[in-house]
Structure 1
Amino acid sequence: MDIKRIINLIILDASGSMESIYNQALTGTNETIQTIRIGQKDHPELQQYLTFASFNSGNDYLKVKYSVTPIDEVKEITKEDYVACGCTALYDAMGEMISELKRKMTPEDRVLVTVITDGYENSSIHWSGPQIKSLVEELRHEGWTFTYIGANQDVEAVAGSMGIRNTLAFEETEEGTAKMYKRDSLSRKRFMDKLSHLKMMGCKCLVEEEDYFEEKK
């Protein structure tokens, strides 16, 4: 089936520990949105959509700002949209958002999932690590691309426990966070360029990208 839509799913940590890099996280998120907008202009044959959610813990742990929204209808994320507090219900956020998006997918969609966190899972009650891994591995075989960006942890080990192969570690500093978002934006652009090329070649593209963060010469 030919590719028509790229769904960019961004799941951003909004726990209290993110306050130390709050401004950089907010700015970086909006830079990512701009990268997606540019991708839409560069490759009009691929329709870009955004699903964006931030998470912490408690009864209202998940805040969904956009859900499969055309990028032309997306506005910048504001301080009212992104509030850092609480703990880290990472599994619950991933399980809820990925499952919801799975229900909305069509065979003509490709999904790029980006998870950004500065700490370990510590407060989920609905989803477990093995459940997340099972879900991720199922969808990877359907062509979804998963990326995990983390600080203050063994990123490869944590991501691997959830079945995610594309990883990026960053330093939880202003400079380190800004550098991370720049790296992700460059990787996202390459991802869009590659999908556009594969679409032109008539490829069905049902294989996950496993070199998302690799810098090409």
Structure 2
Amino acid sequence: IDIECKFTLVKFNNRINQVINNLDLKEVKPLTVEDYRPDRTTALYDALGETISQLSDQKNVLMVIVTDGHENASQEYNHQEVTEMLDEKQKKNNWSYVYLCNDLKTSSQGESLGLTNSGFASNCIQPQSCFKSYLCKDVNMAIKNYRTKGISVQSQLNSV
């Protein structure tokens, strides 16, 4: 299946850094373990709020949220605002979400954002030493299968 896909990569810690913006997926180099480097604090709500606002008019977005820590640094957006934004985009623009984390405390944050029914992968709680490799191999394959075969990302990750 040849589907037009665009790719945006936003990295965040206490700052939001848009690394790639709306690039054709065919032009994106594969992400490696070096692309996943935990650093400093976690401004998750700001990263989500800014990214959703930027992509606001887009339809059929698959947003993969990867975090190694609990929200602790956002200045612009709060939990309620982000939860409402995620829900609105899912209902009105057919957005899908996958929330990936590496510990139980952080997994409850995904649930509190309402992401359990829209793609929370329950076995993504990986030891820190395995998390980067897991992201590069299993998640990349799951997203490829989602885009080409329509197989849900969470069902693939939960069977790994």
SS at match of 2:22: strand
Partner of 1:88: 42
| Matched ranges for 1:182-201 at <5 A | 182-195=137-150
Q: Structure 1: give runs of 5+ residues left out of the alignment.
A: 1-42, 196-208
Q: Deviations over 1:6-55 (max 9, x none)?
A: xxxxxxxxxxxxxxxxxxxxxxxxxxxxxxxxxxxxx22x1121100101
Check if 1:149 corresponds to 2:100: yes
Structure 1 counterpart of 2:114: 163
Aligned to 1:120: 70
Query: May I ask how many residue pairs the two structures share in their alignment?
Result: 152
CA distance change for structure 1 residues 73 and 184 in 2, over 3 Å: closer, same or farther?
Answer: closer
Distance in 2 of aligned mates of 1:77 and 1:167: 21
Alpha-carbon distance change, 82 to 117 in structure 1, aligned in 2, over 3 angstroms:
closer
TM-score, with normalisation over the residues of structure 2? 0.80
Separation of aligned partners in 2, 1:54 and 1:167: 20
**Aligned 8 A contact 1:170 1:180 in 2:** no
Counting aligned pairs with the same residue, the percent is 24
| 2:129 matched residue in structure 1 | 174
**Alignment RMSD, CA only?**
2.7
Larger radius of gyration between Structure 1 and Structure 2: 1
Q: 1:62 and 1:80, CA in 2 relative to 1: closer, same or farther beyond 3 A?
A: farther
2:128 matches 1:214: no
Alpha-carbon distance between aligned partners in 2 of 1:214 and 1:125, rounded to the nearest angstrom: 34
Q: How does the TM-score come out when normalised to structure 1?
A: 0.61
Aligned pair in 2 of structure 1 residues 174, 82: CA closer, same or farther (>3 Å)? Answer: closer
Deviation at 1:140, TM superposition (A): 1.0
Give 2:13's aligned residue.
Answer: 56
- Matches of 1:80 and 1:180 in 2, distance apart? 11
Query: What amino acid is aligned across from residue 144 of structure 1 in structure 2?
Result: W
Q: In structure 2, how many angstroms separate the alpha carbons of the residues matched to 1:82 and 1:63?
A: 13
- The whole-number CA distance in structure 1 between the counterparts of 2:61 and 2:22 is 11
Cα pair 1:53 1:63 within 8 Å, conserved: yes
| Unmatched runs of 5 consecutive residues or more in structure 2 | none
Could you report, residue by residue, the CA deviation over 1:127-181 in whole angstroms, capped at 9, with x for unpaired residues? 1111111011111113100110011234553112112122232323333431344
Amino acid of the structure 2 residue aligned with 1:137: D
Higher relative contact order (CA 8 A, sep 6+): 1
Give the number of the structure whose residues are more often helix, by fraction. 2
Contact 1:65 1:81 in 2 (8 A): no
Letter aligned with residue 52 of structure 1:
L
Partner deviation per Cα, 1:159-206 (whole Å, 9 max, x = no partner): 1211212223232333343134432123212211334xxxxxxxxxxx
Greater shift in the superposed pair: 119-128 or 155-164: 155-164
How far apart in 2 are the matches of 1:90 and 1:66? 18
